[in-house]
Chains A and B, each alone.
Chain A
């Protein structure tokens, strides 16, 4: 059994870009077996096992220490691991998978441009409809923390695990907080992004768990990976 478990996204563009990123740094990650089998191997560094996991599950596995290193989005790490800086270490930002967590409202809301407007609109909405303005998201922790910091009141979060931009048209939410890279889906759904910096600017990153079994062999493999990727960590 290998000493260090490295987890990468189990499929799609994110996996391809991850493989390319490691390849340009002299580490070959490849799938083995049939195309649908989630199995792979690492060439170029000894003692590393490649694990394929859903990007959304990698934060949890890192926090639990069941894997040593993993590639996933900054957004997922920040959402799923409370005080993530104390649980995992970010070894490298990988320069792809860029996405911003933003708040968006219908484009015809001409009176809402900023977070201050949203707060005032929420107060009026509650008075008119007898309920708090609903914000659909799957990033509950990040969004709640952001709105608390900004002093927004009279809202409630409603869970949406997909097709979040459609919730407004379907009358299950009044605003959405979601990840966007190009903004195309937002525009297609007649939404606009609130002004100001995003809630979080995210990209794919390589993380290392603090809680894994860092025996000598695992440490040696870690050192080797770090020296290849040129990360400024010991």
Chain B
């Protein structure tokens, strides 16, 4: 029906529409009461910035269109990037923003997920006390969901980041692992290759030999003529890295196992913290990340939520929530598998860094239509 919308029937007119508007108004008022300024980013965004930030995957998930003058444009697939851009361009150190509006995502063929749905969210930039800012955003969203049948889940990308840093290996290997944080399968493949390196192929052995003996220029010339933008210097520099990598000792299996054990932790916060502390006795570099998790749990407890009872999953956020690099959380409608997560959010310093200036940033969104549907159509 033309008046249906995401997760709600007949909610584009009359009483249904009024209920959606009231719900969005209630959420925005709650965010404003917590000091957020209302913002309204454009629905059409330049595609190049978004693809540069998120990668080519986004092009298959976002609707693109072309303007003869402005070039490729995208229908807003989320608010976080344009809101972060607004903050950066304002030049302000700190700022809190609230927004509400449609986002558009292409769905897999056969999926019944909507291609257009509302998001209502809050982003906080430049707040120096990480644990407190994380806790406050989580508490504001939890408060907005009060009375709804949702189960929270939390995680922290800081564990995997600290775990990679703790590995006894070279900086290029760590950088390669970091780069694939959000692609768990490739991450696993890389980690296994670094722990149990395969025999090099014949041609790879020849390349390494040529690199080691200073015969690389001749070797490259034998392969074929130089064409394209990627220069012989770039190939030589990667050949040097490959040679260095071939001489690098494997990552000790015990460390791989420790990291995998840490990533498998899934328990109520108090138990999770003590499991992680135990792993940290053998991998002390995890301790600062665990300290932050504990400080956050305490900070959350100041908001009438028992922070130490919240579920914690060390791998939460690695597949679904790109660009988060700290605290991550979500609220799931456990009895309504037909609905998506009702709310989700996290910390994303890496995104602001990619936009040109690293600013502490944490935020979250609620899906008001899904929340209304969960609550039986009434706010």
Contacts and interface: CB of A to CB of B under 8 A. Distances in A.
Interface residues of B, number: 40
A150 interface: yes
Contacts of A82: 109
Contact of A148 (B57, B179, B235): B57
B60 A153 contact: no
A106 B183 CA distance: 27
A190 B225 contact: yes
Contact of A190 (B57, B180, B227, B229): B227
A111 B239 contact: yes
B183 A151 contact: yes
Interface stretch (B35-43, B137-145, B216-224): B216-224
A82 B110 CA distance: 9
A110 interface: yes
Contacts of A120: 176, 238
B232 interface: yes
Contacts of B228: 106, 168-169, 171, 173-174
Given A108-B226, A111-B235, A113-B201, A83 B110 contact: yes
Which of B183, B185, B189 has the most chain A CB atoms closer than 10 A to its own CB?
B183
Given A83-B109, A154-B55, A108 B235 contact: yes
Chain B contact residues, majority secondary structure: helix
B85 interface: no
A190 B234 contact: no
Contact of A124 (B51, B189, B201, B237): B237
A125 interface: yes
Contacts of B59: 144, 157
A223 to B, nearest CB: 29
A110 B189 CA distance: 23
Interface in A109-168: 109-111, 113, 116, 119-121, 123-125, 128-129, 132-133, 141, 144-145, 147-148, 150-151, 153-157, 168
Interface of B: 51-52, 55-57, 59-60, 108-110, 176, 179-180, 183, 185-186, 189, 201, 203-204, 207, 210, 219-221, 223-230, 232, 234-235, 237-239, 242
Interface of A: 82-83, 86, 106-111, 113, 116, 119-121, 123-125, 128-129, 132-133, 141, 144-145, 147-148, 150-151, 153-157, 168-169, 171, 173-174, 190, 192, 195
